[in-house]
């Protein structure tokens, strides 16, 4: 029977980041039901946005992670297409202008270098935009990375430290005894372990259910259109103020159908990533054609240069949503050896580097990130969680 010091469930950017930080002094086994980075991490854009984060702790967390990115490519020894090209939030109409002025002030106060630019400046930096826009915000701290390469780089670096990866392996049960973890059952056999880290993203609730734990994480479906390869027409990443208003204003009534808000970027190979929608549809990946059309029309209105570009496919993924917009990185009360590291929603790419360090800090019981971890506890939701089941 196989044994491990740690079993990590989930091989996306979160699971592989954790594996990289824990491998070396322990026998770590990572279980992935498909390929590394093939689920949520393989169906998202490439943006590392800081200016879009809410002031306070969310910004501090994102800044800490962004600092890790500065030297991560060298540390992992692999190209992850990390680029510091800045980011822009387009203001499409006058109704959002006052809000965005206040937004810039609050982000500057929170330590984010972002400025408001007028229509002329915005078009000079992003000629693909419509001359009908009102203006935009711009920040030099926003960056981008290839999520698939990032997942693989974490995994390969962890393998060099001894990580064992079980691809195409599905967890069928978590074995417990006397309120502690003693093993993981898979479709390929059992692994004896005293520590399981649930990094299964939107599927984390299903893993938690195996021990009777209810996680306040809901899958939020998003779709991104992928274009043919074209010459560079997007510099850095673009969001729209409609998305920011929906994210920051709890009483905002101007939320578009299907949660559509522009996210636009371009890969190094030339494909445009055009998003996106945000819907609660369970785990249903069947997106209606009208949603794809709505995403395309919204993007084309803000960036008319996209008109002649052909869309070759769409990718659909689930973002692990929590009600306060922050992940859960926490031990589970009353069940020793079960850690949650999930609930990052659309910030998984931005927060992957810091998440690995946070989980390592939790496992090692050091105090370096105690202030961060205290704010990411499962019990902050004050939900009634089921007692862990035995067996």
Question: Using one digit for the tens of pLDDT, what is the confidence trace for 318-368?
Answer: 999 999 999 999 999 899 999 999 999 989 999 999 999 999 999 999 999
Nearest-angstrom CA–CA distance, 18 and 30: 10
Task: Quote the pLDDT of residue 42.
Answer: 85
Token pair of 97, please? 């202008």
- Residues with Cβ within 8 Å of residue 3, at least 6 apart in sequence: 27, 191, 192, 193
Look at residue 105 and tell me whether its pLDDT is greater than 80.
Answer: yes
Q: How confident is the model at residue 300 (pLDDT cuts 50, 70, 90)?
A: very high
Would the pLDDT of 387 be above 70? Answer: no
Report d(CA 245, CA 255) in Å as an integer. Answer: 8
For residue 168 the two structure tokens come to 């195409």
CB 261 within 8 A of CB 239: yes
The pLDDT score that the predictor gives to residue 382 is: 75
pLDDT, the chain, mean: 93
pLDDT at 322: 96
pLDDT score, position 109: 94
| Contact assessment for residue 294 and residue 277, using Cβ atoms and an 8 Å cutoff | yes
- The arithmetic mean of pLDDT across residues 192-217, rounded, is 97
Give me the residues paired with residue 57 across strands.
Answer: none
In the sheet that holds 311-321, the strands lie side by side as 114-118, 135-139, 87-91, 237-240, 263-266, 271-275, 218-229, 311-321
What's the whole-number mean pLDDT along residues 175-184?
98
DSSP-assigned beta bridge partners for residue 106: none
Statement: residue 136 has pLDDT above 50: yes
- Please state the rounded mean pLDDT for residues 21-34: 97
List of residues 6+ apart from 115 with CB closer than 8 A = 104, 137, 138, 139
What span, in angstroms and rounded, lies between the C-alpha atoms of 147 and 145?
A: 6
The band of 390, judged by pLDDT with boundaries at 50, 70 and 90, is very low
- Residue 94's Cα: distance from chain center in Å? 31
pLDDT for residue 277 = 92
Q: For residue 155, is pLDDT > 70? A: yes
Q: What is the pTM of this model?
A: 0.94
Strand partners of residue 177: 180
> Which tokens belong to 249?
């204003």
> pLDDT over 90 for what percent of the chain?
87
Q: Which residues pair with 196 in a beta bridge?
A: 7, 338
pLDDT band at 295 (very low <50, low <70, confident <90, very high): very high
Taking residues 141-158, report their average pLDDT.
Answer: 97
Residue range 54-65: mean pLDDT, rounded: 95
123 CB-near residues (< 8 Å, 6+ apart): 129, 131, 133
pLDDT at 252: 52
Sign of CA dihedral 19, 62, 271, 202: positive
């Amino acid at each position: 029977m196989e044994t491990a010091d740690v079993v990590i469930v989930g091989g996306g950017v979160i699971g592989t980041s954790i594996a990289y930080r824990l491998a070396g002094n322990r026998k770590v086994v990572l279980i992935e039901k498909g390929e590394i980075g093939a689920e949520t991490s393989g169906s998202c854009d490439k943006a590392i946005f800081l200016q879009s984060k809410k002031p306070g702790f969310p910004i501090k967390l994102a800044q800490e992670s962004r600092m890790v990115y500065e030297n991560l490519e060298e540390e992992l020894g692999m190209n992850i297409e990390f680029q510091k090209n800045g980011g822009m939030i387009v203001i499409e109409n006058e109704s959002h202008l006052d809000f965005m002025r206040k937004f810039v002030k609050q982000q500057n106060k929170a330590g984010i270098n972002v400025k408001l630019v007028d229509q002329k400046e915005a078009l000079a930096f992003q000629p693909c935009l419509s001359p009908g826009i009102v203006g935009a915000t711009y920040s030099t701290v926003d960056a981008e990375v290839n999520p698939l390469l990032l997942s693989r780089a974490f995994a390969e670096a962890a393998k060099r430290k001894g990580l064992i990866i079980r691809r195409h392996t599905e967890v069928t049960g978590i074995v417990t005894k006397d309120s502690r973890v003693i093993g993981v059952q898979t479709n390929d056999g059992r692994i004896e372990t005293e520590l399981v880290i649930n990094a299964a993203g939107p599927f984390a609730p299903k893993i938690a259910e195996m021990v009777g734990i209810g996680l306040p994480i809901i899958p939020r479906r998003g779709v991104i259109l992928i274009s043919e390869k074209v010459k560079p027409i997007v510099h850095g990443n673009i969001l729209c103020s409609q998305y920011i208003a929906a994210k920051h204003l709890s009483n905002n009534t101007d939320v578009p159908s299907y949660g559509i808000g522009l996210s636009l970027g371009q890969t190094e190979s030339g494909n445009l990533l055009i998003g996106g929608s945000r819907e609660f549809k369970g785990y249903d990946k069947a997106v209606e054609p009208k949603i794809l059309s709505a995403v395309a029309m919204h993007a084309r209105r803000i960036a008319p240069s996209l008109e002649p570009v052909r869309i070759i496919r769409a990718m659909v993924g689930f973002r692990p949503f929590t009600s306060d917009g922050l992940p859960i990185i926490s031990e589970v009360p009353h069940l020793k050896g079960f850690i949650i590291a999930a609930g990052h929603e659309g910030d998984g790419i931005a927060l992957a580097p810091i998440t690995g360090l946070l989980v390592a800090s939790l496992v090692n019981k050091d105090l370096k990130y105690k202030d961060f971890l205290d704010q990411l506890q499962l019990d902050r939701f004050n939900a009634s969680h089921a007692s862990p089941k035995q067996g």
